[in-house]
Amino acid sequence: MKYFWLILLMGPVFALNYSENISPIIYKNCTSCHRGGQIGAFLPLTNYDEVFNNRFWIAYAIAGDEDSRHGDPIMPPWPADRSYSDLLDAMYLTEDEIHTFLDWLDAGAMQGSPDEEYPMPDFSEGSAIGEPDIVLQMEEPYFISGNYEDDYRCFILSTEFASPIDLSAMEFIPGNMEAVHHAIIVAVPEGSADALDNADPEYGYECFGDFGTSNISDFLGGYAPGTIAREWPQGLAQIIPANSDLIMQVHYAPLITDQTDQSSINIFIKDEPVERYVQEHLMINYLFALPPNEITDVTATWMIDSDISLIQFLPHSHLLGKSWEIFAVPPASRDTIPIIRINDWDFDWQFFYSPEYMIHLPAGTVVEATCTYDNTSDNPENPNNPPEWAFWGDGTNDEMFFVPFRYISYEDGDENIYLGDVLMGDINGDGDLNVLDVVSMVNIILSDDCPASADMNADNSCNVLDIVQLVHLILL
């Protein structure tokens, strides 16, 4: 019996607490957005009191409902199904992290010792890439009404580029991170969209579904909270056509106070020879009709006529969208290549997704896409009550089936090119530097291959000098 009372008295000592168990989860996964001046400033999560006061909302957001287990939580925002395909920069909590938070909640949500709290990360400001070659900023601040409504606005930025630009990266920098939810950037012939701008009395012009004009370039850049801007890999680039304007489509999230925004664009020019230009294919289905009070599947296909390497894709629909699935069927194969599946479409969270490695799609491959639309009263996002017929269009009450794919012409070995940030020396790609990388380095030196992660001294060859530098890094 005495041991029973000892265990009972000692229980709280060993219970989960905020400082040691919960603060690392929150600060590493949530606070980058949920803090002052950011898109989630309405619900800051920067200390124990804030997390404690919002603990039940957090539990609901990260756990999902009972039927979905933890497969499709609301937060962190990552609509893509991680069990379907491997995509870069996936934002999620592990099952252990979710259970830790829920167990902490059940145990009374104790704080623990503040001295043991996880240090607040140093959240970077400004460019994530470096010093840009060119900076283009909105000509004037745009007034955002605090009416708690979404605002979709297009702004025209003059480039005055007399010659085409080999684009290494285009980085959107929000002028007001609390207001800007996402942005997409394209180029148009100089002056071609001025009539749209002039017809709107306010700065910029309203644009919900697209840019208001069909004479646009490939998508050149974009932004959403949590996304990471990167330069194209070595030898790859996009083109900004000469004599172009840029159109910046910005979605401003609902605000309860009047605010302003004056966002900008960082342009990084390729400073090396371009071997392959990134191309874009638009998969579009205009010919659909969505009857009221029904759930409808709409499909489209893309026949690949020459070998390509797929590097990015962005499924897009409006408020009736329910789910997406995109996969590829190679010629003479029974196996499919899963590209992306979104089980619970959310118009507010749209990304250009990238696979971890380039996906080789040989000639004769068929890419198939299906979007399911929910035009019933059960869809809380349905803009019509009662539901009405919906067709292709730009407006809130219209719908779209639109998927831009970014790709390059295939070269041998593309499928081994990692599209994320390369950890120099991580030869085996396990995210760590250790003796296994030395073994992999030796194998590389004995072969004819020399990936960027193995060229430690940047002399364009892999040799014993790279092993010396790798060992030095491991011992640091």
Mean pLDDT by 10 residues, the chain (476 residues): 45 74 92 85 91 93 61 79 90 89 94 93 83 96 93 94 95 91 92 94 89 87 83 93 95 91 96 94 96 98 98 93 97 91 89 92 97 97 95 86 95 90 68 76 79 71 82 75
Report the CATH fold assignment for 279-415. Answer: Jelly Rolls (2.60.120)
pTM above 0.95, yes or no: no
Report the CATH fold assignment for 422-475. Answer: Type 1 dockerin domain (1.10.1330)
Return the number of other C-beta atoms located less than 10 Å from residue 372's C-beta.
18
Specify the pLDDT at position 4: 44
> Which part of the chain has CATH 1.10.1330?
422-475
Specify the pLDDT at position 189: 95
Q: What dihedral do alpha carbons 6, 8, 12, 14 form, nearest 10°?
A: 60
Q: What dihedral do alpha carbons 351, 352, 358, 363 form, nearest 10°?
A: 120
Specify the pLDDT at position 72: 65
Q: How is residue 344 written in tokens?
A: 């619970």
Domain 134-276 has CATH 2.60.120.310: yes
d(CA 29, CA 80): 17
> Which part of the chain has CATH 2.60.120.310?
134-276
Q: Which of 433, 462, 466, 459 shows the shortest CA–CA distance to 449?
A: 462
